[in-house]
Structure formats: C-alpha cells, structure tokens
C-alpha cells in the first residue's frame, strides 16, 4: 500500500521533482558572481548529493598581496557574460568525458577584490580520489587559459592589466600529452 502510494506520488509529482533537480544542478555547476562563497558548505553539498560519492577534491584560489614583486592593494576581475559561463560548462563536459567523476562545481568571482579574498573554487566529486584529483587540476588548468576572465591589479605605482603566463599554457598542454 505504502509502496503504491509512493509510486502514485512519484508519477503525479515527477514533473516537479525533475524541475527542481534540474534547477539545482544547473545552478550548482557554474557560478560567476560578485559575492563571496562558503567553500565548506559547497564541499558538503557535493559530498551529500549522492551516496556513492567517495571523494571530493577541491581547489580554492585567493588574491595575493604580491605579484611580480609589486605589492597589490586591489584586484578587479572582468568577464564576458555568456561566453564565460559557456566556456566553463564546456571545460566541465571535457573533464566528465575524460574521467569517471560525478559532479563538478566552478565558482568564479568578478568585480573588485582585496588581498586574501577568495577568487575561484573548483570542486569535483567522484567514487575515488584519483580521478577527482586529476579532473580538478584539469579544470583549473583550462579555466586559467580558456575562460574569458581578465585581471587588473592596483599597485603602489598605479593600475596594470595582468599578463598571461607561458607556464599556464604549459600546464594545460600537459593534458594533451598524457596517455590515459
């Protein structure tokens, strides 16, 4: 009886369940925002989302008070609304094709930030740690070289745009050499 009732409820309200879970998933996977985030909360969300999750690997990047020998007092991040989100989704899709992982979350802040502010978070859940570790690093390496974000720093001698680094390109390229 209970079982039947559950089944009826499921079929009657399935459209609601689907709508809700879809929204949560879309909202959770890629977020570009000015607001700060709670990394601990996000990790717990990913961990508790499925009972077959065995590992969550996460990365948090923060604003440093020094870059290329100059003291940094402020950082402004610009992005390309629409393309940025698409690019991050595409990176997640590539990671999911390559590794047996479950969920990927990317949060990237834009706007004006101060030293010690969080900039970016990537978290990957999976059955085991190995693939989650690799996927997390892969997502960060592609994010740094393909996602349209630009940093401008305020130093003691004025404002300057941050230059791209060859080491970031090298970090991305190693994923094309690794035989998996």
Among 37, 151, 154, 155, binds other proteins (CB under 8 A): 151
Cβ proximity to other proteins: between 21 and 114 the closer is 114
Report if residue 62 touches other proteins, rule: CB under 8 A. Answer: no
Tell me the backbone φ, ψ of residue 114, rounded to 5 degrees: -115, 160
Report if residue 68 touches other proteins, rule: CB under 8 A. Answer: no
Place of tokens 């999976």: 126
d(CA 90, CA 57): 20
Name the segment binding other proteins (CB under 8 A); options: 37-45, 49-57, 126-134, 139-147: 139-147
109 contacts: CB under 8 Å, gap ≥ 6: 32, 33, 34, 35, 36, 37, 77, 117, 118, 119, 120
Q: How far is the CB of 104 from other proteins (least distance, A)?
A: 15
Q: How far is the CB of 24 from other proteins (least distance, A)?
A: 25
Among 1, 82, 116, 158, binds other proteins (CB under 8 A): 82
| DSSP states of 37-71 | --HHHHHHHHHHT-TT--EEEEEEEE--SEETTEE
Report if residue 146 touches other proteins, rule: CB under 8 A. Answer: yes
What's the Cα-to-Cα distance from 9 to each of 3, 20, 21, 23, 103, rounded to whole Å? 10, 15, 16, 21, 28
Cβ proximity to other proteins: between 127 and 148 the closer is 148
Q: How far is the CB of 79 from other proteins (least distance, A)?
A: 7
d(CA 4, CA 43): 36
Question: In 3D, which of 153, 117, 123 has the Cα closest to residue 35?
Answer: 117
Report if residue 34 touches other proteins, rule: CB under 8 A. Answer: no
Report if residue 61 touches other proteins, rule: CB under 8 A. Answer: yes
Q: How far is the CB of 78 from other proteins (least distance, A)?
A: 6
Q: Which residues bind other proteins (CB under 8 A)?
A: 61, 77-80, 82-83, 86-87, 108, 119-120, 140, 143-152, 161-164
């Amino acid at each position: 009886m209970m079982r039947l009732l559950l089944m009826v409820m499921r079929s009657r309200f399935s459209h609601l369940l689907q709508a809700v879970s879809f929204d949560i998933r879309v909202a959770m996977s890629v977020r570009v925002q000015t607001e700060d985030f709670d990394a601990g909360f996000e990790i717990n969300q990913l961990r508790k989302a499925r009972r077959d999750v065995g590992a969550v690997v996460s990365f948090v990047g923060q604003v440093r008070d020094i870059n290329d020998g100059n003291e940094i007092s402020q950082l402004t991040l610009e992005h390309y609304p629409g393309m940025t989100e698409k690019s991050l989704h595409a990176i997640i899709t590539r990671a999911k094709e390559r590794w047996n992982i479950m969920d990927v979350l990317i949060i990237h802040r834009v706007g004006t930030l101060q030293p010690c502010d969080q900039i970016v978070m990537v978290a990957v859940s999976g059955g085991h740690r190995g693939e989650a570790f690799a996927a997390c690093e892969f997502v960060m390496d592609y994010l740094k070289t393909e996602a349209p974000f630009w940093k401008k720093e305020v130093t003691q001698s004025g404002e300057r745009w941050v230059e791209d680094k060859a080491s970031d390109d090298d970090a991305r390229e190693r994923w094309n050499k690794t035989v998996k």
